[in-house]
Structure 1
Amino acid sequence: MPALLAFVTLSGCIHYQPLALDPATTAADFSHRRLDDPALRPHLVAAGSAHAKHAWPLESWSLHDLQAAALHYHPEIAVAKAKAASSIAAITTADTAPNPTLSFTPEYGVNPGAGVSPWVLGFSPDITIETAGKRQERTTQARHQANSAVLAIADKSWLVMSAVRSALVDLEASRRRLSLLEEQQRNDDELVAALTARISAGESPHSELALYQTQRGRNAIDLAEARSRIDTGLAKLADAIGMPASALKGASLGWSAFDKLPAPPAESRLRKSALLERSDLLAALEDYAASDSALRLEIAKQYPDLHVNPGYTFDQGQSKWALGIGMNLPVDRNLGPIREATAKRDEAAAVFQRAQIGISGELSQAIASYRSDLTRLKDVQALLTTQEKEAGNTSELSRHGEVTRIPVLEANGAILQAKLAVIDAIAQANQSLGQLQDSARLSFDSP
């Protein structure tokens, strides 16, 4: 009989399946990631990429496409999904009733009577019957913990997409700055050449040349820095996506909405989303609910579980049946664990309130920053308009021979500096916009 029980018990067992984790293999897999991987296409299509649906590989990558790639590749998403899977699996554990135990106690009599078996064989299972809804509370706690883990996937996804957006803003600004600085270098070269010709003709003092050469030197430094920022920006964007920097070499990346800074929704809408709908806040609510279920479970443990012990004994030729009923005696009424669970529930409530208050302040700052940056952008754009008008007047005078080429080049240089200031202002406003969207967990980027 013991052999039969062992066979029945073990026949349904799940067998161990090895899963090797080799650092060299994982490093090689990461180094082979690329944007034109055919395996990436279905994920982009599922994310709503119209470009990926009609053509592959993509000729150019938009913000939305890069964010979809990041949701597929970024390790933070994989970790969040793995944690959620663990939490979901824990529901099965929590919802499982305690396994019964079986005791087998053979005895052998040294001096049995005539015709009497020397063996005493006893079998006694121990079946636990949980009371006071302990299993239900344990399962409810696990479900809340799983809900929190699933919400964490949504929050990690937002943060990953936000990082891609921020990196693309920096990269787009760096590229536009580089284009303007290259134009500035050509303008500086022409200006220095024109001034050198005037000095050679004795029409200008040599001191003016030193001033413009110094300015050209400073602009050349800015140009070199701008070129290095391109590589840095590509590396930052690749890291935000979860790919090696080499994967972005040669890819057409851009964001046509860089200049389109939308007006945010009404502040009431922003606050509702930030304070009531953010995934991390909802996860904190699930954590609180899980701690409340944990408290209910500890309170339920004040009530003893029942242990049913039916037994059979073969006692030297006689069959004997028995039925035992037992229970544990919580003489301390489980006071220690109840107090601990109560404190943990209070802690979870405090964590939620801290997060909500912090988000409110974060949102207020983000709204103020975005409004301030939009105002600054308008001021800089107004300055550019003024510079362009002055340059137009100077060009008109030059066409009539009233001024030389040098004032025109100086005016062009002023325009380029104003355009650089506009690019910087747009980039700063875009970053503020991203922080505002992060605070509210609400996207209102231009398509």
Structure 2
Amino acid sequence: MIRRDQGARILPSPSQSFEPRQSARGTATKRQLGKAAVALLCLLLSSCAHQRYDPRPVSLDGIASQIEAHSLDSPELRAFVQAHYPDKAWPPAQWDLDALTLVAFFYNPDLQAARARLASADAAQITAAQRPNPVLGLSSQRTLNQMAGISPWTLGLLLDIPIETAGKRGYRMGEAAQLAQSAQLQLAGAAWDVRSQLRTQLLALWSLSGKAQLVRRQAELEQTLSTMLEKRLAEGYASAWELNQQRLAALQSTRDALAAERDALAARVKLAAILGLKADAFAHAQLDLAAFDRQTPEPPAQAIRRQALLGRADVRSGLAQYEASQAALQREVAKQYPDLHLGPAYTFDQGADKLGFDLSNIELPIFNRNEGPIAEARARRQEAEAKVRQLEAKAFFDADSALVAYHGAHAIFQQAATQLAVQRRQLGVAGRALELGADDRMALVLAEKAELAARLAQFDATFQVQQALGQIEDAMQLPLTSTMIPLPPNPPAK
């Protein structure tokens, strides 16, 4: 007697003589499927982990030792400059702003943190570009009351192949790309901040060092006048009050000189911190501060405003973040369309071979159509747009404020230069009068003191002009008198 089981296989009745043969065939088939399933599972598991964890412990003592080892003559620094800036002679004979900027590019911790953020953003692009992996499902079942001659086992093999629809992957990749560009621009902004801090500290060092020399000379003149008044007091031509006032002026000039020298040392410490060096790392380095002695022509206002509004790194970074919010909104809108899940399957069902194909896990938009995430994405886009407008307004304000500061400082400088010219003529007249015997030595010293006071006023005015020029550079994030030093394309290996 012959019967058909679910239309899949013709099986003999229990009374037929070849029952053992059929049972053996089912057992063999079961064993083959089991071996194949185990082999496939092992293959999949072994292919999942082609990368290994690389331990990288952080030691506070190790970091402190690295900072201690930072120096201007480091071979790692030299290799970095030669690799990324081959046109720069290294080490330089004198350390100017451009040379120290390269040192900061290598050592400055803020730039290292910005590079790490950029590396994270670049890694996020890899994540965004990944396609979802298929999912393998294995199942097994044993029938306890199976019929004689039929395998009691049911083995299932299901493959779930997800397919993203409506361009979600492309929008995700676009968002990640814009965020990576924003991180790149933030790194450029951090590099400019480092250069700006370097220029500020070098200008402070130039000002304090120069002022200390002038005030020292002023203290010498005040002391000379004190000595002259002592002689006049002894001869009855001066009062004790006049001598006391002159001595107080000499003491004040000495204190001013000492304060300027102290502040100059503090400026060196701040400069070393910006460079990522110890305070004494460039104690014997020859700094080139001559650039602050030169006058820079007045920059065109329209070009400054245009560069500030269109070229600043923070403005362009904000625009990239806005474009990322656009892509994020597109992705959330695309989520209204469900993804597909293709499910080819094979089942060994108690001796029967079955092939199947499922179209499952399709989300039905019954209770929501992704309205909430779409509304959040729209709000974030509006927030990003407001941020761009805020950055543009700040750039415009910075440019106008810098121009006003420059014009005011330049007017004060011109007035100080005129006053200095007058005092120098008076000093020349006093010198000739002394030669002709028309006046005494004290008149010449007083004229020299007045000329020195005019020099101090012009020096302060020059400092204010240089400060205003730094404001203009910060408003544009672009140097006025030197070329822009580009960041290296990759983080330096250390």
**TM-score bracket relative to the smaller structure:** over 0.9
- TM-score under structure 2 length normalisation: 0.86
The one of 297, 300, 315 equivalent to 2:331 is 297
Is residue 81 from structure 1 mapped to residue 118 from structure 2 by the alignment? no
Q: CA offset at residue 46 of structure 1?
A: 6.0
Is residue 66 from structure 1 mapped to residue 107 from structure 2 by the alignment? no
How many residues were matched structurally?
Answer: 444
Q: Where do 5+ consecutive residues of structure 1 fail to align?
A: none
- TM-score under structure 1 length normalisation: 0.95
Contact 1:261 1:446 (8 Å CA) reproduced: no
Determine the structure 1 residue equivalent to 2:406: 370
Q: CA offset at residue 240 of structure 1?
A: 2.1
| Superimposed CA distance per residue, residues 129-167 of structure 1 (whole angstroms, 9 cap, x where no aligned partner) | 111111111111111111111111111111110110011
Which moves more between the two structures, 118-127 or 31-40? 31-40
Is residue 183 from structure 1 mapped to residue 217 from structure 2 by the alignment? yes
Is residue 39 from structure 1 mapped to residue 76 from structure 2 by the alignment? yes
The one of 321, 329, 336 equivalent to 2:364 is 329
Q: CA offset at residue 49 of structure 1?
A: 8.3
Which moves more between the two structures, 196-205 or 378-387? 196-205
Is residue 237 from structure 1 mapped to residue 274 from structure 2 by the alignment? no
The one of 406, 415, 423 equivalent to 1:379 is 415
Q: CA offset at residue 113 of structure 1?
A: 2.2
Q: What is the CA–CA distance in structure 2 between the aligned matches of 1:375 and 1:141, rounded to whole Å?
A: 49
Determine the structure 1 residue equivalent to 2:457: 421
Determine the structure 1 residue equivalent to 2:202: 168
Q: What is the CA–CA distance in structure 1 between the aligned matches of 2:414 and 2:176, rounded to whole Å?
A: 53
Determine the structure 1 residue equivalent to 2:55: 18
RMSD over aligned Cα atoms: 1.8
Contact 2:216 2:253 (8 Å CA) reproduced: no
Is residue 125 from structure 1 mapped to residue 162 from structure 2 by the alignment? no
Q: What is the CA–CA distance in structure 2 between the aligned matches of 1:95 and 1:113, rounded to whole Å?
A: 52
Determine the structure 1 residue equivalent to 2:467: 431
The one of 283, 291, 301 equivalent to 1:257 is 291
What is the letter of the counterpart of residue 180 of structure 1? L
Determine the structure 2 residue equivalent to 1:393: 429
Determine the structure 1 residue equivalent to 2:184: 150
Is residue 309 from structure 1 mapped to residue 343 from structure 2 by the alignment? yes
The residue matched to 2:336 in structure 1 has which SS? coil
Determine the structure 1 residue equivalent to 2:314: 280
Q: Where do 5+ consecutive residues of structure 2 fail to align?
A: 1-36, 484-494
| Superimposed CA distance per residue, residues 11-59 of structure 1 (whole angstroms, 9 cap, x where no aligned partner) | 4521100011111111221122111222222444567586x52x53x33
Q: CA offset at residue 357 of structure 1?
A: 1.3
Q: CA offset at residue 422 of structure 1?
A: 1.6
Q: 1:433 to 1:68 in 2, by over 3 A?
A: same
Where do residues 198-209 of structure 1 align in structure 2 (5 Å cutoff)? 198-209=232-243
The residue matched to 2:281 in structure 1 has which SS? helix
Contact 1:260 1:446 (8 Å CA) reproduced: no
Contact 2:213 2:257 (8 Å CA) reproduced: no
Contact 1:168 1:254 (8 Å CA) reproduced: no
Q: 1:187 to 1:20 in 2, by over 3 A?
A: same
Q: 1:45 to 1:268 in 2, by over 3 A?
A: farther
Where do residues 132-147 of structure 1 align in structure 2 (5 Å cutoff)? 132-147=166-181
What is the letter of the counterpart of residue 382 of structure 1? T
Q: CA offset at residue 3 of structure 1?
A: 4.2
Q: What is the CA–CA distance in structure 2 between the aligned matches of 1:360 and 1:330, rounded to whole Å?
A: 47
Is residue 7 from structure 1 mapped to residue 64 from structure 2 by the alignment? no
Contact 1:83 1:149 (8 Å CA) reproduced: yes
The residue matched to 2:438 in structure 1 has which SS? coil
Is residue 266 from structure 1 mapped to residue 300 from structure 2 by the alignment? yes
What is the letter of the counterpart of residue 64 of structure 1? D
Q: What is the CA–CA distance in structure 2 between the aligned matches of 1:146 and 1:374, rounded to whole Å?
A: 42
Identical pairs, percent: 34
In our comparison, the structure showing a higher alpha carbon Rg is: 2
| Superimposed CA distance per residue, residues 267-319 of structure 1 (whole angstroms, 9 cap, x where no aligned partner) | 22112111112121111111011000000001101011111111111112221
Q: CA offset at residue 189 of structure 1?
A: 2.0
| Superimposed CA distance per residue, residues 322-354 of structure 1 (whole angstroms, 9 cap, x where no aligned partner) | 110121223311111111111111111111011
